[in-house]
Amino acid sequence: MRRLPFRILLALLLFVTIPAPWLFLAHWADVIHPSQAAELRPLSQHSQVRGDGLVPKAPNPWFYIERAFPQGKISRENWQRAQLQARALKAMSKQDALRQWEPMGPTNVGGRITDIAVDPTNANIVYAGAAEGGVLRSLDGGQTWQTLFDDQPSLSIGALAIDPSDPNVIYAGTGEVNPGGGSVAYGGAGLFRSTDQGMTWASLGLENSGAIGRIRIDPTDPNRIFVAVLGQLWETNEERGVYRTTNGGVSWERVLYIDNMTGCVDLILRPDDPNVLLAAMWERIRQPTYYDYGGPGCAVYRTTNGGSNWSLVGGGLPAPSASGGRIGLSLCVAQPDFMHAIYADNIGYFDGLYRSTDGGLSWSRTSDAALSDVFASYGWWFGNVRTHPVNPNIIYVLGLPFWRSTNGGASYQDASDDMHVDHHGLDFSSGALPVLYNGNDGGVYRSSNDGTVWTKLPNLPITQIYRFTRDASNPNALYCGTQDNGTHRTLTGALDDWEHIFGGDGFQPLVHPEAANRIWAQYQYGSLYYSSNGGSGWNYALNGVSGSDRNNWNSPLVQDPTDPDTRFFGTQRVYRSSGNTSWTVISPDLTGGPYGGNSGQVDGTLTTLAVSPLDGDVIWSGSDDGYVNVTQNGGSSWTYVAADLPERWITSVRCDPQDRETAYVTLSGFRWAEPLPHVFRTTDLGASWADITGNLPEAPVNEILVDPAATGLFYVATDVGVYETIDGGLTWSALGTGFPNVVVTSLAMDESARILYAGTYGRSFFSIALGEPPTAVADEPFTDSRVVLGRTFAPYPNPAWGNSRIRWELNRAAPVRIEVVTVAGRRIWSRQFEATKAGHSWWDWNGRDAQGRRMPSGVYLVTVYAGSERLGSETIVLKR
């Protein structure tokens, strides 16, 4: 809660339509590809050559800052609590099995692939790890794919591995190691194993690892596994380093540790002597005000006794220094004395590719002058090298483009063919002429001639969608703005016929409600363009918008539902357009900004706009710094109405279709000490607000959609799924079945067909047939008919430094079982009581697992069962 600043109050009272006098707030530089230079700002504005004096490329922190405001950080504890609350709610909710989510594509656009693993016994069996889309498997050489990881607590994949002694055993390390724009900020949930080619998974622990860069399995002992743990991106943590298990993941030992800012990003293991490993350590952390992707912790270490002892590798490799950056490692499987190491500096420039012919004892730099721009100043986004498994003279360099040497590094050639840029993963089948699979920001590609010619593989539903819209004149048409893949559309509703119509990172598109050939699309920071011919050509569409205004990374653009020729656009002010490309300002600054370049937080920009379908003069705005304003006269005067709302990033404001004075607000962010509601309703144009969060998980809510077919029927898109309420927000349940555990960014509805669409940040689109609207009595409390024996109570104390009392109440005597699981779903402790009396009972959990080992700090889910019935689930926070 906060008071309205005097200058904002004064501006609202004295507003006249003149440009605001404040200076434009510089943004973080976004990652821009050369292929998009004509559509985006010129590359000359970004550093391309070391020492050119220009700003180097930096990853945009939008996803993190939205959720971290105003604390400037996201507590792992709060994120784990939200995940576990979502798990419990999905288990307890009334889910209608007849309502199934269906994938809607796009499958032909793709998205970021972080790692690839090819079955050593069959070149057509390949696994792909997606940045936010989980694990996918193809059994036919990449022609079709099956998603395998949808129910796991994190769909962010850092590394994949196949057990060399049993190709049915697959490992997935969660948490993307590439710290760039478009990454979900939460990190992973540890290491997972499947023994049936990915059909089912079990957690192996390391839940607090943050990001896992590589997994290596001893080919002579499948129970001995090494894991490169890079750690959390946005905070220091002690869990970084190299971990080893000798019992198949039952327990882990950290065998290499530098400090709480330096983790391991890459590992190589000699297949002929698995006691010899080399580890690439990377000092890396990020904060809202800066990023530090290098330092003296960046170095290569070697062990010859299976990880028990390590030594710094010299012999010609660069010595550790303040300018060190990300390092990638590889070796030739058939001739493992041949190894390669690729270096970036702490800014991200290419810093050399080194070759060893004696197993890593001595190194020499290759003739790599041609690679000087392979990283284009953001080598922290790639940092990988691969050596051909049979021919050690063939070296593959994964960067912005894809480079190859066929002569041991004497020369290099661009072998990108027509692949998408930004390469992260590469793996090989077995055999003298292996099949190659490449993973980049556009999906998966295949080559059967050592990488000379590449074919893009279809059917990958892993697109990260920012915003989307429907075409009012075509119920099958969808338009979406995507991370790193521009703006796309389908006119048929098919999975695989989406076409690219505009470049950059794509954000909110619009289609004229009466003329589908008139389209608006935008890229980063509200750069808006207009097409009058269905997307064949585009014109600049921000005439009248001041160049000194502040624009959000994901700027709001909305259609007036009462007038097909009127649209609204937000900077820190609201603009109206009754044409195609020209705008008129209709508000003062409706935020608390500007904040200055050192705030490390929000910029003071509008994030959402809404217009009442009952009165086009009622317009709402929400901002990144928690401001909500409304006008009842088309913008002549505005009223600040957020004084009683929590201070969080406003993700959406939506108007009620039945009542002019009713609107809904959703919030991002997490709690501090107190619980944080994320959904509010006003029935008096913001004079007062009611919390309608109910039992939703305490996670960011990204949008609310009001179903016009029934009073009190709403849907919300959250960072932990889609939820529905039929009683105006008193209680919520997970909507439908078959939805992956992915961040949901936006919702839309086909009201006539009663189909709900959900755009996800990593698994493309889904839709669900809602059926006839349910009925509910608004003041009738929700009860789950399956639970008749009793209830659970909040554990005490919570947080707990030692014992925490688990409490429940039974209506009649029954056997009771208590289970405690981690955020990854790994059951660590359980207790069975064969006969428990009616009334109140309790049991103290001491924060240890079934073997008596102390569990680390974190959040754990306690579930109490009575007979075959689930009484309830509660979260316990352990502090160590």
Q: How many CB atoms lie within 10 A of CB 683?
A: 14
Q: pLDDT, tens digit, for every residue of 468-479?
A: 999 999 999 999
CATH code (residue 844): 2.60.40.4070
As a whole number of angstroms, the distance between CA 435 and CA 428 comes to 6
Q: Which of 276, 291, 312 is where one domain is finished?
A: 312
Q: Which of 261, 292, 312 is where one domain is finished?
A: 312
As a whole number of angstroms, the distance between CA 173 and CA 194 comes to 12
Residue that the structure tokens 């090494």 belong to: 226
CA proximity to 797, closest of 806, 785, 788: 806
As a whole number of angstroms, the distance between CA 720 and CA 80 comes to 11
Q: Do 757 and 764 touch, CB atoms closer than 8 A?
A: no
The amino acid sitting at 50 is R
Q: Which domain holds residue 799?
A: 790-878
As a whole number of angstroms, the distance between CA 683 and CA 660 comes to 9
CATH code (residue 296): 2.120.10.30
Q: How many CB atoms lie within 10 A of CB 840?
A: 11
3-class secondary structure per residue, 582-616: ECEECCCCCCCCCCCCCCCCCCCCEEEEEEECCEE
Task: Kindly state the helix (H) or strand (E) to which residue 539 belongs, with its residue range.
Answer: strand 539-540
If DSSP codes are grouped into helix, strand and coil, which group holds residue 11?
A: helix
Tell me whether residue 363 is in a domain.
no
Instruction: For the chain, give the number of residues.
Output: 880
3-class secondary structure per residue, 255-282: EECCECCEEEEEEEECCCCCCCEEEEEE
As a whole number of angstroms, the distance between CA 554 and CA 541 comes to 16
Tell me whether residue 203 is in a domain.
yes
Tell me whether residue 604 is in a domain.
no
Model pLDDT, residue 600:
54
Model pLDDT, residue 59:
72
Tell me whether residue 414 is in a domain.
no
As a whole number of angstroms, the distance between CA 205 and CA 211 comes to 13
| DSSP letter string, 406-431 | SSTTS--EE--TTPPS-EEEEEE-SS
**Beta strand extents in 624-693 (DSSP E only):** 628-631, 639-640, 650-655, 663-667, 679-682, 690-691
**Beta strand extents in 811-857 (DSSP E only):** 814-821, 827-836, 839-845
Q: How many CB atoms lie within 10 A of CB 563?
A: 12
The DSSP code for 381 is: G
What tokens were used for 541? 């569409």
As a whole number of angstroms, the distance between CA 859 and CA 861 comes to 7
Residue that the structure tokens 């973080």 belong to: 28
Tell me whether residue 186 is in a domain.
yes
Model pLDDT, residue 54:
60
Model pLDDT, residue 784:
43
As a whole number of angstroms, the distance between CA 114 and CA 116 comes to 7
Q: Taking the CA of residue 599 as centre, how many other CA atoms within 13 Å lie in the half-sphere pointing to its CB?
A: 20
Q: pLDDT, tens digit, for every residue of 64-98?
A: 999 999 988 888 889 999 999 999 888 876 556 67
Number of domain units in the chain:
2
| DSSP letter string, 89-120 | HHHHS---TT-BEEEEE--SS---EEEEEE-T
pLDDT lower than 50: segments of the chain: 1-46, 48, 598, 776-787
CB within 8 A of 373, min separation 6: which ones?
48, 49, 350, 400
As a whole number of angstroms, the distance between CA 861 and CA 278 comes to 38
CB neighbour class for 316 (10 Å; exposed up to 12, middle 13-18, buried from 19): middle
- Does a cis peptide bond (omega within 30 degrees of 0) precede residue 781? no
What tokens were used for 83? 């995940």
Tell me whether residue 223 is in a domain.
yes
| DSSP letter string, 812-824 | S-EEEEEEEE-TT
As a whole number of angstroms, the distance between CA 182 and CA 131 comes to 9
Tell me whether residue 691 is in a domain.
no
As a whole number of angstroms, the distance between CA 136 and CA 116 comes to 10
Q: Taking the CA of residue 395 as centre, how many other CA atoms within 13 Å lie in the half-sphere pointing to its CB?
A: 30
Tell me whether residue 845 is in a domain.
yes
Model pLDDT, residue 837:
86
CA dihedral 62, 64, 70, 73 (to 10 degrees): -150
Q: Which of 259, 290, 312 is where one domain is finished?
A: 312
Q: Do 503 and 529 touch, CB atoms closer than 8 A?
A: no
As a whole number of angstroms, the distance between CA 844 and CA 443 comes to 49
Q: pLDDT, tens digit, for every residue of 12-59?
A: 333 332 222 222 222 223 333 333 333 333 334 445 456 666 655 667
As a whole number of angstroms, the distance between CA 373 and CA 366 comes to 15
